């Protein structure tokens, strides 16, 4: 490795992890700007996933959103306090809770749809349409191919 290659490795802007962290910061900032504090990104992800899969348990929901189960349980408890989801003990497995989104939760998601659309548009605005498609394809590949490296791997929906 020559000196120029080593210098490139020392430049933070050549490290994918640094750039991914910055992209996450930007995404969260735009998220809060558009959703005006209605939900956190994790709360939104849980509610959106639950809306598509009513009745699943907390462990499955956490896996589908790729968060650890203790975080999933505490976020679900907060969403329940807000009246956005209901948790009920599963009779055949009293340690798990089945989740359903409430009418208020469904209404909130519907209300947030335009803001979520603007979030996506704003985040991807610097890219052309073709670049946006390519970026999303590559980002999905990066995340899926490195899934097992995560502290909370994504549970594949077909496996859940």
Write the pLDDT tens digit of every residue in 114-156. Answer: 999 999 999 999 999 999 999 999 999 999 999 888 777 778 6
pLDDT tens across 52-94, in order?
A: 999 999 889 999 999 999 999 999 999 999 999 998 887 777 6
Would the pTM of this model clear 0.75, i.e. be above it?
yes
Higher-confidence residue of 32 and 151: namely 32
Contact present, 52 and 19 (Cβ < 8 Å): no
Q: Which two tokens stand for residue 156?
A: 């594949």
Domain 21-148: give its CATH code.
1.10.10.10
Q: In angstroms, rounded to a whole number, what is the distance separating the alpha carbons of residues 46 and 82?
A: 14
pLDDT band for position 157 (cuts 50, 70, 90): low
Q: So where are the chain's domains?
A: 21-148
């Amino acid at each position: 490795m020559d000196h120029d290659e080593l210098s490139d490795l020392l430049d933070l802007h050549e490290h994918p992890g640094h750039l991914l962290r910055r992209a996450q910061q930007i995404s969260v900032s735009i998220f809060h700007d558009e959703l005006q504090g209605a939900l956190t990104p994790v709360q939104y992800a849980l509610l959106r996933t639950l809306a598509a899969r009513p009745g699943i348990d907390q462990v499955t929901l956490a896996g589908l959103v790729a968060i650890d189960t203790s975080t999933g349980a505490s976020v679900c408890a907060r969403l329940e306090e807000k009246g956005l989801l209901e948790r009920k003990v599963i009779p055949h497995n009293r340690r798990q809770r089945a989740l359903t989104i409430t009418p208020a939760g469904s209404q909130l998601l519907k209300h947030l749809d335009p803001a979520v659309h603007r979030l996506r548009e704003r985040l991807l605005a610097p890219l052309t349409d073709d670049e946006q498609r390519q970026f999303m394809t590559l980002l999905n590949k990066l995340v899926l191919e490195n899934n097992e490296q995560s502290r909370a791997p994504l549970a594949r929906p077909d496996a859940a």
